[in-house]
Amino acid sequence: MILKSITRTMTQSYRAAKRTKKSNYNGSNNGNNDKSSIAMDKLLNAELSEEQTMLKEKVMSFIRTNIMNYDAQEKPPKCAMFVIEGDAGTGKSLILNSLFNEIQKISNEKAFEKDPLYGRDNYLVVNHPEMLKLYVRMSKSFKYISRRSLERPTSLVNTLTKNNSIADVVIVDEAHLLATSKDAFKRFYGENHLKDLMSLSKVLLLVYDDKQALRMGSYWDENQKNGASLKSYYNTVHNDKKDWYRLKKQFRVCAPNDVLKWINDISVAGKIPKFPSSAKENSKSDFDFKIWDDCGAMYEALKIKDQELGQCRLLATYDFPYRLDGNDYFVTCGDNFKVRWDRYTPREVTPWSERKDTINEVGSVYTIQGFDLNYAGVILGRSVRYDKVNDAIALEPKLYDDHAGFTKKPNIHDIDDVKRKIIMNSMNVLLTRGIHGLYVYAWDPELRERLKATQCE
């Protein structure tokens, strides 16, 4: 069921979404594959902020310099690497998309034949089927971007290796989804996607957030000796052939700082957060934040918001059974909520978040990662509990039902720690989807009561 979209600056994002609210959402996003999607429109039409424009120019200069200085005679040839790091919603994919569009135009347009980027063999790579679908659809709007320039990492590695060729520029979206170990089932026989791409590229651009690593087979962590560390690969690159930039400003979630802190406290620090002052009844905040004690009531409120705005969806941590066997599986909370998980629809092109029928489903991290919602209703499932002794979040990985995500890999040494980190990462992904509203329900009764109690503190 794993799971991007970006907007503008906070003010730009708010205004753009206001326009989206006024648009005929239900008429223009009905699952018809010849229609443009909201996620696609954002990536095609969003304007870069001043910081993003500066970063784009910096990266373009970096690529040109290192393409010209690439030494094919060096044994082995060494690629250059630029990393753009940032939390969910900080604009990584927006910059990436703008960069790739410009690079491909320069590469293919005769007017740029004196540019170092002219006539190059470049690729945009993403190890995420839903995002790849989106990029393939977008490519139809750009005469310079061909389908062959858009790849999953395993396919690109295998193709370049078979042809004994080196790509000029490889841009990797969601680099935290690159495989960190062999996966014969998916026909990846290498040690690490990044290691192979470094040997098959002249210039490698990565967008990265280690808080979005959700599987042991693609586990990236800069603070633990599990999976792989991007910095360890980055450190092997010569100093004059590498750069690293961290984006910090939140562009997706139009929420006050105290709501962003609430999200960080519960899903990164594992604390019981202080209830945001901006969410109290007398607040004038435009962001709608609520903690619910009735999941059915939360769902009904979300459906009303969806009728008004569109793109309001239920999400849950992977704590309820789900199998890819063609049957429906359900998320059940209390006596008045039983809604099916999202159905596996590999042939569907329209993103899950934009199809009208998916208001009748619950999405997971694999469904929503990388995409926006106007409102997100998030169910913290069975594995997310309350630690009364420490007044903190307690996790029970045995109740997390993503068995594929927990498949043990040789480079995972502290399996229990990694399981806990994956659950926390999944919470963070879900809680950072909503642009204008976040509703939260905790399955664990004690956690639910504790979160509700914070409203009176």
Rg of the chain's alpha carbons, rounded to an integer?
Answer: 22
The phi and psi torsions of 123 (rounded to 5 degrees) equal: -140, 145
Count of Cβ atoms closer than 10 Å to residue 431 Cβ: 24
pLDDT of residue 348: 85
Which residue(s) pair with 203 in the sheet? 80, 169
Arithmetic mean of pLDDT, 315-324: 94
In the block, which residue shows the tokens 């469904």? 367
- Ordered alpha helix ranges (H), 109-222: 129-139, 153-163, 193-199
Asked if 198 contacts 79 with a C-beta cutoff of 8 angstroms, the reply is yes
* SS3 state at 229: coil
* SS3 state at 80: strand
Residue type, 118: Y
Least Cα distance to 371 among 26, 22, 29 occurs for 29
In the block, which residue shows the tokens 């100093």? 239
CATH of domain 257-456: 3.40.50
What is the residue extent of each domain of the chain?
50-247, 257-456
Least Cα distance to 412 among 178, 180, 175 occurs for 180
Asked if 85 contacts 246 with a C-beta cutoff of 8 angstroms, the reply is yes
DSSP state of 348: -
Cα distance between residue 8 and residue 14, in whole Å: 8
Match domain 50-247 to its CATH number in 3.40.50.850, 3.40.50.300, 1.10.10.10, 3.40.605.10.
3.40.50.300
> Mean pLDDT lowest for which of 55-64, 172-181, 245-254, 315-324?
245-254
| 283-297 confidence digits (pLDDT tens) | 788 899 999 999 999
Cα distance between residue 350 and residue 38, in whole Å: 10
Using the predicted structure, report yes or no on whether residue 201 has a pLDDT greater than 70: yes
Q: With residue 341 as reference, give the H or E element that holds it.
A: strand 338-341
The phi and psi torsions of 428 (rounded to 5 degrees) equal: -65, -40
CA angle 282, 285, 290 (to 5 degrees): 75
| CA dihedral of 140, 108, 165, 410, whole degrees rounded to 10 | -40
pLDDT of residue 77: 78
* SS3 state at 208: strand
**pLDDT band at 282, cuts 50/70/90?**
confident
> Mean pLDDT lowest for which of 42-51, 142-151, 153-162?
42-51
Asked if 89 contacts 252 with a C-beta cutoff of 8 angstroms, the reply is yes
Structure token digits, residue 318: 């992977």
Handedness of CA 400, 345, 297, 453 (dihedral sign): positive
Cα distance between residue 55 and residue 312, in whole Å: 32
> Mean pLDDT lowest for which of 137-146, 267-276, 349-358?
137-146
Cα distance between residue 427 and residue 211, in whole Å: 10
Q: How many percent of the chain have pLDDT more than 70?
A: 89
Arithmetic mean of pLDDT, 315-341: 94
Domains 50-247 and 257-456 share a fold: yes
**pLDDT band at 91, cuts 50/70/90?**
confident
Strands 338-341 and 330-332: antiparallel
pLDDT of residue 24: 30
Judging by beta carbons within 10 Å of its beta carbon (0-12, 13-18, 19+), is residue 360 exposed, middle or buried? exposed
